[in-house]
Amino acid sequence: YHCQNGCKERIGVDIIHNSFTQWLIDISIKPVIGQLYLAVMEDIFKTNEKDRNSEILRLSHEIKNKEEMLNKADRKLINDELDKEGYNRVKDSLQKEILSLKVRISELKETESGFMEYLKYGVALLGNLPHYYSTTTLEGKQRILGSIFPEKLIFSENTYRTAKPNEVIDLLYNV
């Protein structure tokens, strides 16, 4: 490897690769830290899951209430306690509200993502960066490097640095 823009300095491939592998080892999170992080995030995720389920339940009750109001409007129309125009206004309004509530429930149910699976994969990746980096394709290596380094990677004084480190990697490295 050598510098760009007319620089005459050359550094051996073995030195670059060994130093980079060591740097990946250094920034890899320790298994204990990874397990603690997973436990905390799983607890937060379960709390959010409970909140989501209780919101779905609340919205379902609200739908039932709106449907009961619609049934009452039906009975009032039948008993001539409500004129056709008033009934249509109430009916349209309640049907729009019911539809809106059903859409919201649908959205809440769809948000059940594979968050924990992604998190487990991410922690495993960050816990064994050298292995994943050495066994992936060129495209995979470029993705890993692009994720770690938002800007150019510089090798200087037998170590790596970047003008602007990735904040997540920086945070994990300092744990």
Q: pTM value?
A: 0.51
pLDDT > 90 fraction of the chain, expressed in percent and rounded:
31
In this structure, which amino acid lies at residue 55? E
Please compute the mean of the pLDDT values over residues 124-136 and round it to a whole number: 88
Please compute the mean of the pLDDT values over residues 62-86 and round it to a whole number: 94
Residue 37: pLDDT band (50, 70, 90) is confident
Would you give the distance in Å from CA 88 to the centre of its chain? 44
In this structure, which amino acid lies at residue 160? Y
Quick check: 146 and 7 in contact, CB under 8 A? no
Q: For residues 58 and 38, give the distance between their C-alpha atoms in angstroms, rounded to a whole number.
A: 30
In this structure, which amino acid lies at residue 12? G
Residue 175: pLDDT band (50, 70, 90) is low
